[in-house]
Structure 1
Amino acid sequence: MSRVCELTGKAVMTGNTVSHANNKSRRRYLPNLVNVTLISDALGQSFKLRVSAYGLRSVEHRGGLDAFLAKADVSELSAKAQLLKRQIAKKTAATEAAAA
C-alpha cells in the first residue's frame, strides 16, 4: 500500500537530516495517514479511505465528503475516490432533474 492520501494526493517527501556539524544525510518525510470511514449523504453509504490528517480537516471544512469531492481536482484523487466522485455527481444530477 503506497503512502499517498486518497483525497488530497499528499505523498512522501524527501529531504536532509542536518546534524550540528552540518553533516547531511537523506531522510523521508511521511504523511500523517489515517484509516477513516466517511459517509456520503448523497449515496447513503459509508466508505473506508486512507486519508491524511490535513485531508480529513479539509473534508470537514468543506462540509462533508460530497462537498469535498464536488470541488476536488480529479488529478489529485485516487481511483477509488474518482469513482466515488462520479457516482455522487450522477446521483445529485438525477435528484436535481427529478426535483425540477
Structure 2
Amino acid sequence: MARVCQITGKKPQVGHKVSHANNKTKRRFYPNLQKKRFFVPEEDKWITLKVSTKAIKTINKHGITAVLKEARANGNLVL
C-alpha cells in the first residue's frame, strides 16, 4: 500500500537534501503515517486506517463519523 493518508490524502513530497558544502541531492519527505484502529459506533465495528498524525488530531476533535463522511465525500477514503 502506498504511503498516503486515507483521511487527508497526504502524500510524500520531493525536495533537496542539502549538505554542509551546499550540495543538493533529491530526497523525499514522507508524511508521519500511523496504523490506527477506530471504533465506529454507527456501524458497530472497528476499522483500521493508515492515517497521518494530523488526521488523528482531526478525528479526536470532530469525531470519527464526521471525518469518515467528509473523507468519503472528498474521495480520499479507500475502504
Category of TM-score, reference length = shorter chain = 0.7 to 0.9
Question: Greater relative contact order: 1 or 2 (C-alpha under 8 angstroms, separation 6 or more)?
Answer: 2
1:28 aligns with 2:28: yes
Give 1:68 deviation, angstroms: 1.3
Note the 1:66-77 alignment, pairs <5 A.
66-72=65-71, 74-77=73-76
The alignment of Structure 1 onto Structure 2 pairs a total of residues equal to: 79
Note the aligned Cα RMSD (angstroms): 1.5
- The TM-score with structure 2 as length reference comes to 0.87
1:65 aligns with 2:64: yes
Structure 1 or 2, whichever has the larger Rg, is 1
- Whether the aligned pair in 2 keeps the contact of 1:15 and 1:28 (CA below 8 Å) is yes
Note the 1:27-46 alignment, pairs <5 A.
27-46=27-46
* Stretches of 4+ aligned residues off by more than 6 angstroms: none
* Cα distance in structure 2, aligned partners of 1:38 and 1:48: 6
Describe the superposition over 1:36-91 as per-residue Cα deviations: whole angstroms up to 9, x where unpaired: 111112111110111111111111111x21021233463351321xxxxxxxxxxx
| Bigger helix share | 1
- The TM-score with structure 1 as length reference comes to 0.70
Partner of 2:77: 78
| Bigger strand share | 2
- Whether the aligned pair in 2 keeps the contact of 1:7 and 1:76 (CA below 8 Å) is no
* Cα distance in structure 1, aligned partners of 2:33 and 2:65: 20
Give the gaps of 5 or more residues in structure 1.
81-100
| % identical aligned pairs | 34
1:51 aligns with 2:19: no
